[in-house]
Amino acid sequence: MTAIIQAENLGRWYGEVVGLGDLTVQIEPGITGLVGPNGAGKSTFMKLMVGELRPARGLLTVLGEVPFGNRELYRQLGFCPQQDALYEHQTGRHFVRDLLRLGGWSRREADRLAVGAMERVGLEDAMDRKVSGYSKGMRQRTRLAQAIAHGPKLVVADEPLTGLDPIARRQTLDLFRGLAEDGCSVIISSHVLHEVESLTQTMVLIHRGRLLAQGSVREVRRLISRHPSRVDVIARDPRRLASALLPLDHIRTIKLGDDPKKLTVETDDISAFHRAFAGVAASAEAGVTGFKSDDASLEAVFDYLIG
Amino acid sequence: MSLITELPRATWLIFRMHLAATAASRRALSGLLFAAVPPLLAFLALTASGSGDSGVNVFMYLGVLVLLQVVAPALGVFLGIGAIADETEARTVTYPFTRPIPRASVFLGRWLASLLVLTTLLLASGAGMAAITLRASDPPSMDAVRGLLSATLIAGVLYSLGAAVIGVIFKRGQVIALGYAFAFEVMLANIPGSAQKLSLQYYLRSLFVGSENADWRSLAVFQKSEFLTTADSAERLLATTVILLVIGCVTVTRKQFVLSS
C-alpha cells in the first residue's frame, strides 16, 4: 500500500521554539489518529501537511507531492483547521460555496456541493444564517463542511471534536467513518486517546515534536497499561490512611509530601484502587476531604512512556 | 488551469467575496469620517472668511495640503494595510491558501476590494470639496479640479498598495506604513531641493503642477520646486505601482504565515 504521508527527519521550529523536532513517519490510507498532548507538535505537523508551513528541515510528501503552495495537491486535500476562524460576514452556506468556487466549481455546482456538505455535518437548518451567530460546535462543523465539500482524497482535521456536544461528536465520528467508506483517507488529531480509539485502530503518537509510537490502539493501550496511575488524596490524618492503604496488592508507592494533609498514591490497578478506597478510608477514619486522579491525562502517560 | 488564466479568475472571486465586508468594515467607516474632513474644512474656510478667500485658493490649498497629503495617504494606509494583514489577524488565511488558486490572487483580490472602497471615499471627498469651492467667488477651473482628483486617486492606489505590501511583509505593518506616510513623506515632500524626489508626493504633485495650469504655480508651496512633466511623473508612478505589485505577489506566494491556534 502506498503511504499517503511520508515524513523523513521532518523538523519545524518557530524561532527558538521547537514545533516539530525530528519526525520520521509513514501514514497509510484509511483513518489515522494523530495523538499527543497539547504542544506535542500535532498542529505543526498538520500545517506542514497542508502546506501552510514549510519544513525547516527534512522531507515531507502528501499524496506523493510536496505540499507548500501546491495547487494540484489542494484539489485532493481538505483541511479543517483548529483555529475558530470563519468569514463572519457570510452565512455557512456561502462560506462553503465561495471556497468551493475558488476550486473552479461553477456557482450552481458549488452551491449544490455546499448544501450537501452542510447537510452532511448536520447544519442544514442553520446554513442560511450568518456564521457569526453560530455556536462553537456549529462553527466547528462549518469548518469541517468546507474541508469535505469538494470530495477530497485526504481530509486533515486538527482537533475536529473539540467543542462538540455528544450528539454532534457522534455525528462527526460517523461522518469520518462514512468518508473512509467512500475511499477518503482521514487524519485527525486529538489529545484525548479514547476519542480517536472509537474511530480507528491506527494511531501515530507524537510527543515533544518526535514520533513516540505508531501502530494499533491495542499496542498503545498495552504501553499505557504498564503505566502506574497516580492519585492525590487530602485527609485529616494522611499517615493513618497510608498505613491502611499499604497492604493492598496493587499499591506501588505512597508518598507523604510537604503538605501535611496530602498523600500521593501510585497504583498498578486504578480500577481496583477505586473499588477498595472508600471502604479502606472509612475504616481508617482518616477524614478524607479530597481525592484527585491527575493521571488520566495523556500528558502523564506520555511522560511515563518517554521515561 | 494555467497561472495566467487562474490568477484573474481567482482574483475576481476573492474580490467579490470580500467587497461587501470591506465596505462595511470599521476601517471603511472610520475612513468615511476622515473623507468628510476636506469638504468640511472648505465649507468652514469659505464661511469664516466671507468673501475674503477665493474658491480657487481654498480648493488648491486644501486639495494639496489636506486631501492629497493627509487624507489620501491616511485612507490608503488604513484600507490597504488590511489586505493580507486582516486575514492573518483573523486567522482565516488558511482557507484561501489551501485552495487550488495562486496565492497572489488573495493579495490582489483583497487589495482591489480595498481600493474600490478607497477610491469611492476619495472621489466623494474631492468632489465634495470641489462642489463647495465651485460655488464660491473665483472658483477653481475644471482642469484644476480634474488634475487634483486624478492625482488623489493615483495617490490612493499607491499608498494603499504600498501599505498592503508592508502588511504582507511585516506583522505590525500599520505603524511602519503610517510612519512612512506621515513622517518620511511629509518631511521630504515639503523641504525644497532634490530630496523631494524621494517622496511619492513629489511625483503626485508633478502630475498636475507640471501641466500647463498656471494656477498651481501661483501657490507659494510650489514656487521653489522644480517639477517633472505630467508624462514623466505618470511613467514613474506606473513603474512604482508595477514594482509594488510584483513585490506583493511574490512575497505572498513565498511567505509562510504562522497563525496562532
Q: What are phi and psi of A86, to 5 degrees?
A: -140, 170
Cell, residue B88: 492573518
| A86 interaction partners in chain B (CB closer than 8 Å) | 92
pLDDT for B148 beyond 50: yes
**Is beta strand A288-292 parallel, antiparallel or unpaired with respect to A229-235?**
antiparallel
* pLDDT-wise least confident of A106-120, B123-137, B174-188: B174-188
| pLDDT digit string, tens, across residues B84-126 | 888 888 899 999 999 999 999 999 999 999 999 999 999 999 9
Interface residue A157 vs chain B (CB under 8 A): no
d(CA A130, CA A93): 9
| A54 interaction partners in chain B (CB closer than 8 Å) | 256
Between A69, A85, A103, which is nearest B103 by CB? A69
Distance from CA of A50 to the nearest CA of B (A): 7
| pLDDT digit string, tens, across residues A246-259 | 888 888 888 887 78
| A81 interaction partners in chain B (CB closer than 8 Å) | 91, 94
Are the beta carbons of B249 and B241 closer than 8 angstroms? no
Averaged confidence pLDDT in chain A: 88
d(CA A255, CA A271): 20
**B163 SS3 class:** helix
| pLDDT digit string, tens, across residues A132-174 | 999 988 999 999 999 999 999 999 999 998 878 888 888 889 9
Between A68, A89, A103, which is nearest B99 by CB? A103
Give the angle subtended at the CA of B252 by the CAs of A65 and B116, to the nearest 5°.
Answer: 130
Between A83, A87, A99, which is nearest B99 by CB? A99
Distance from CA of A136 to the nearest CA of B (A): 15
pLDDT for A295 beyond 60: no
Distance from CA of A30 to the nearest CA of B (A): 21
Are the beta carbons of B132 and B39 closer than 8 angstroms? yes
Tell me what the mean pLDDT of segment A69-98 comes to.
94
Tell me which of A268 and A35 has the higher pLDDT. Answer: A35
Query: For residue A87, which of B77, B86, B249, B8 has the smallest C-alpha distance?
Result: B86
Share of chain B above pLDDT 70, in %: 92
The percent of chain B in helix, strand and coil, each rounded to the nearest 5, is 80, 0, 20
**A94 SS3 class:** helix
Share of chain A above pLDDT 90, in %: 51
d(CA A263, CA A239): 8
Among chain A residues, CA nearest to B16: A98
pLDDT for A44 beyond 60: yes
Q: What is the pLDDT of residue B84?
A: 87
Q: What are phi and psi of B47, to 5 degrees?
A: -70, -45
Interface residue A51 vs chain B (CB under 8 A): yes
Q: What are phi and psi of A258, to 5 degrees?
A: -65, -35
| pLDDT digit string, tens, across residues B55-65 | 888 898 899 88
Interface residue A121 vs chain B (CB under 8 A): no
Tell me which of A127 and A227 has the higher pLDDT. Answer: A127
Q: What is the pLDDT of residue B172?
A: 81
Are the beta carbons of A241 and A286 closer than 8 angstroms? yes
Between A53, A69, A102, which is nearest B13 by CB? A102
Are the beta carbons of B25 and B82 closer than 8 angstroms? yes
Among chain A residues, CA nearest to B256: A53
Q: How far is CA B70 from CA B67, B178, B185, B186, B258, in A?
A: 6, 11, 10, 9, 33
| pLDDT digit string, tens, across residues A190-242 | 877 777 878 888 889 888 888 888 887 777 666 666 667 788 899 998 889 98
pLDDT for A66 beyond 50: yes
Q: Do B98 and A102 touch (CB under 8 A)?
A: no
pLDDT for B221 beyond 70: no
Q: How far is CA B164 from CA A210, B2, B29, B42, B108, in A?
A: 38, 26, 19, 31, 9
Tell me what the mean pLDDT of segment A274-283 comes to.
87
Q: How many CB atoms lie within 10 A of CB A200?
A: 20
| pLDDT digit string, tens, across residues B44-83 | 988 887 655 688 888 988 998 899 999 999 999 999 998 8
Q: What are phi and psi of A265, to 5 degrees?
A: -110, 135
pLDDT for A303 beyond 80: no
Q: What is the ipTM of this complex?
A: 0.85
* DSSP H or E run through B107: helix B103-134
Q: How many residues does chain A have?
A: 307
| B22 interaction partners in chain A (CB closer than 8 Å) | none
Interface residue A140 vs chain B (CB under 8 A): no
pLDDT for B210 beyond 70: no
d(CA A296, CA A299): 8
Q: What is the pLDDT of residue A163?
A: 77
Between A54, A75, A82, which is nearest B100 by CB? A75
Tell me what the mean pLDDT of segment A99-108 comes to.
94
- The alpha carbons of chain B give a radius of gyration, in whole angstroms, of 19
- CA torsion, points B226, B230, B236, B237, in degrees to nearest 10? 110
Are the beta carbons of A97 and B31 closer than 8 angstroms? no
Q: What are phi and psi of B184, to 5 degrees?
A: -60, -55
d(CA A31, CA A41): 19
Interface residue A79 vs chain B (CB under 8 A): yes
Tell me what the mean pLDDT of segment B194-216 comes to.
80
**A284 SS3 class:** helix
